[in-house]
Amino acid sequence: MRLYSTLARDLVELPPPPAAVRMYFCGPTVYARAHIGNARPFVVGMWLRTWLRERGYAPTLVHNITDVNDKIYEAAPGASADLAAKATRWYVEDVEDLGLGLADHLPKASEMVPQIVEFIRALIERDYAYAVDGDVYFRVARDPGYGRLSGQRPDEMQDEEPHPLKENPRDFALWKANKPGEDTSWESPWGRGRPGWHIECSVMAEELLGATFEIHGGGLDLVFPHHENEIAQSRALGHDFARIWTHNGMLQFVGEKMAKSLGNVTTIRGALDDWGRETVLLFFMTGHWRKPIDFSDETMAQAAAQVETFRNAFVGSAANGAPARAEWEDFAQKLDDDFNTPDALAVLHEWRAAGELDLLRRGLTIFGLGSLAERAEAPAEIVRLAEQRRDARAARDFEAADRLRRDVEKAGWEIRDVGDGFELVPRR
Ligand SMILES: [Zn+2]
């Protein structure tokens, strides 16, 4: 299997199975209900783990939660820890409802502070970092390879964290001194404070996966400075860190309606409520993980329509396409080659058209869509109405049959006539 790596600027082959594949995906900063865009790295990470298992690998996925951060202090002055705890629960609930399970580890920054302090101490010892006024900064000029991931040149860089005593505007904070109004802080050799954002990920990844691991993922917006800084910190201690860097394209809001409601950001919860889990997952399949993806009422409606065609394939079960030479490997090749979900989705549609339902069920299950192949059981009362309708039709009492059909629909079910019998399908 191979994946495109931002660092190599090329496709990179994974070692053959049953190799261990250790993966670290940057997770959300928790201060509100998570934005639907945050679901993409989560979904890509979970799908990759499922696919690697399917191919005989031994994957481990770490997905971190940033629960100490300026954004959280700003959102809840004096009570950021409570907000972070609450928003962590929201996030876990929301992504769990996507039905893909959770990562093997969901570490929180606030739970790794002693390890972070140790890491910073080692950087200072090696002269890669310096303390100023209770802050600690990474000395970027000490790293000749800085910019290896993002291609940023020193003269193009802006000062992200201005401080009059910094040696160089490019230097970034590893530790930040406690300020008034910041309710979370820890003791350290440099005084009370809290970790910077970038150091958190270097430490959590290495604590849970080791100093060298296979895949580091996250949104394309994290390449610089976040991931550039993670690499600088870890390599400063002589660690190889991640081999393959997978950056997912951003989710873009398009369409008039979406543009108007920009202030009202669509959350994962909102998308689940509006469209349902299966449509949200299918929507993400329609875009290659590296490319941007357009989120709009139109693209979501298209995804919903595809969901229905798959569900319908398992109702009545009549194949209408030409029988094709269908094999699992046709589908597997698409995913093994840079995890191309749009191409894999096209194969699923071919199987649907050809009535290859066993393969289709197996393929959908990889993406958390096995539910489309399951038949929902209608309540006994609905089944009775449908039976009465069948009998009315047999007696050529079409008026009664129509009335019964409408009653069934009002109760949320649709009757599909199949041969001499019928099937009941939930209406959506
Ligand atoms: Zn990170």
Residue-wise pLDDT tens digits, 359-382: 999 999 999 999 999 877 889 999
Inter-helix orientation angle 297-313/357-366, to 10°: 140
- CB proximity list for 300: less than 8 A, separation 6 or greater: 271, 274, 275, 279, 283
Task: Write down which residue in 203, 219, 248 finishes a domain.
Answer: 248
Number of domains in the chain: 3
Considering the domain architecture, whether residues 225 and 143 belong to the same structural domain is answered as: yes
Secondary structure class of 198 (helix, strand, coil)? helix
Ligand 1 centroid – CA 28 distance (Å) = 9
Give dist(CA 234, CA 175) in Å, integer.
16
Ligand 1 centroid – CA 218 distance (Å) = 7
Opening angle at CA 23, ends 20 and 26, nearest 5: 175
Ligand 1 centroid – CA 201 distance (Å) = 5
Ligand 1 centroid – CA 316 distance (Å) = 47
Task: Write down which residue in 196, 217, 248 finishes a domain.
Answer: 248
Mean pLDDT across the stretch 114-137? Answer: 98
Give dist(CA 34, CA 74) in Å, integer.
16
> 178-216: string of b/e by CB count within 10 Å (b at 16+)?
beeebebbbebebeebbbbbbbbbbbbbbbbbeeebbbb
pTM: 0.89
Considering the domain architecture, whether residues 272 and 291 belong to the same structural domain is answered as: yes
Question: What pLDDT score was predicted for residue 260?
Answer: 46
91 - beta bridge partners? none
4 - beta bridge partners? 11
Q: 255 or 224, which is more confident?
A: 224
**Which CATH number is 228's domain given?**
3.40.50.620
Do residues 218 and 200 lie in contact, with contact meaning Cβ atoms separated by under 8 Å?
A: no
State both tokens at 80: 């950021």
Handedness of CA 37, 306, 344, 374 (dihedral sign): positive
Which residues keep their CB under 5 angstroms from ion ligand 1?
26, 201
Considering the domain architecture, whether residues 362 and 306 belong to the same structural domain is answered as: yes
pLDDT digits (tens, 9 = 90+) for 157-195: 778 788 888 999 999 999 999 999 899 999 999 999 999
Considering the domain architecture, whether residues 276 and 200 belong to the same structural domain is answered as: no
Ligand 1 centroid – CA 223 distance (Å) = 10
Considering the domain architecture, whether residues 106 and 241 belong to the same structural domain is answered as: yes
Considering the domain architecture, whether residues 187 and 161 belong to the same structural domain is answered as: yes
Question: What pLDDT score was predicted for residue 426?
Answer: 79
Give dist(CA 331, CA 97) in Å, integer.
26
Give dist(CA 421, CA 423) in Å, integer.
7
Ligand 1 centroid – CA 134 distance (Å) = 23
State both tokens at 303: 């995804």
Considering the domain architecture, whether residues 221 and 260 belong to the same structural domain is answered as: no
pLDDT at 259 over 50: no
Considering the domain architecture, whether residues 403 and 358 belong to the same structural domain is answered as: no
Considering the domain architecture, whether residues 316 and 192 belong to the same structural domain is answered as: no
pLDDT at 428 over 90: no
pLDDT at 88 over 70: yes
State both tokens at 289: 């993980």
Ligand 1 centroid – CA 27 distance (Å) = 7
Ligand 1 centroid – CA 194 distance (Å) = 16
Considering the domain architecture, whether residues 30 and 97 belong to the same structural domain is answered as: yes
Ligand 1 centroid – CA 233 distance (Å) = 12
Main-chain phi, psi angles of 339, to 5 degrees? 50, 60
Ligand 1 centroid – CA 26 distance (Å) = 4
386: domain range?
Answer: 380-426
Ligand 1 centroid – CA 49 distance (Å) = 18
Give dist(CA 168, CA 310) in Å, integer.
57
Question: What pLDDT score was predicted for residue 375?
Answer: 77
Mean pLDDT across the stretch 137-156? Answer: 91
Considering the domain architecture, whether residues 390 and 308 belong to the same structural domain is answered as: no
Give dist(CA 4, CA 290) in Å, integer.
8
Give dist(CA 388, CA 400) in Å, integer.
9
Q: What is the mean pLDDT of the chain?
A: 92
Considering the domain architecture, whether residues 6 and 103 belong to the same structural domain is answered as: yes
pLDDT at 319 over 80: no
Q: Give the 3-state secondary structure percentages of the chain, helix then strand then coil, rounded to 5.
A: 45, 20, 35
